[in-house]
Amino acid sequence: MKKNKDERTVQLNNKIQSEGFALMIGLLALSIFIKSYIWDMSPSEYTAELAVMAIAILYITIRSSTLGFNSFDYPMNTKKFIVPSTIAIGLLITIINGVRNFSLYGDKYTGITDVHFLAVLGFTFVSATIFIGVIIGALYSIGEFGQKRLG
């Protein structure tokens, strides 16, 4: 005979697992940041963390979207923050990359207003913003596919 599970217990278990997943992703990101920027390790030193984090996030995102959970199904007032958020993330990536670039190669620049340094910042900002936009667009498309599949 199959035992019925209490819905509250199932929801609590799902919440605990969700928080555990978020904690794991956060710790992996922290480990990557420390190894990359503080300890100045090469990417081969933290490839395992990158792979685990990327696979886990990709799996959760695609699985949720194909099951019909659309993470972009928000009211219009929230959708208008997608473009500013994309630009803000691109700017954050540019700042982090700029600080690292100047700390490693600052002796090759004439200063913070050096044309080569500013070109690196400009290229980083444009490419990071486009990349984040493509990722958000792909997630939106996958979510729409899942919604159409349901109904």
Compute the distance between CA of residue 84 and CA of residue 73 in angstroms, rounded to an integer: 18
What is the dihedral angle through the alpha carbons of 47, 51, 53, 59, rounded to the nearest 10 degrees?
170
Q: Among 36, 66, 96, which residue terminates a domain?
A: 66
Same domain, 56 and 8: yes
pLDDT in tens, 104-135: 888 888 888 889 999 999 999 999 999 998 88
Compute the distance between CA of residue 2 and CA of residue 140 in angstroms, rounded to an integer: 39
Compute the distance between CA of residue 62 and CA of residue 49 in angstroms, rounded to an integer: 20
The residue among 115, 116, 123 whose CA lies nearest residue 97 is 123
Least confident of 28-32, 68-72, 88-92, 145-149: 68-72
Same domain, 7 and 57: yes
The model carries a pTM of 0.64
Q: Structurally, how many domains does the chain consist of?
A: 2
pLDDT in tens, 72-91: 555 554 567 778 889 999 99
Task: Provide the CA 90 distance to its chain's centre, in angstroms.
Answer: 11
- Domain with 37, as residue range(s), is 1-66
Same domain, 62 and 78: no
Same domain, 115 and 142: yes
Same domain, 91 and 131: yes
Same domain, 48 and 90: no
Same domain, 77 and 62: no
pLDDT, residue 5, reads 77
Same domain, 25 and 94: no
87: tokens are 């630009």
Q: Among 66, 94, 112, which residue terminates a domain?
A: 66
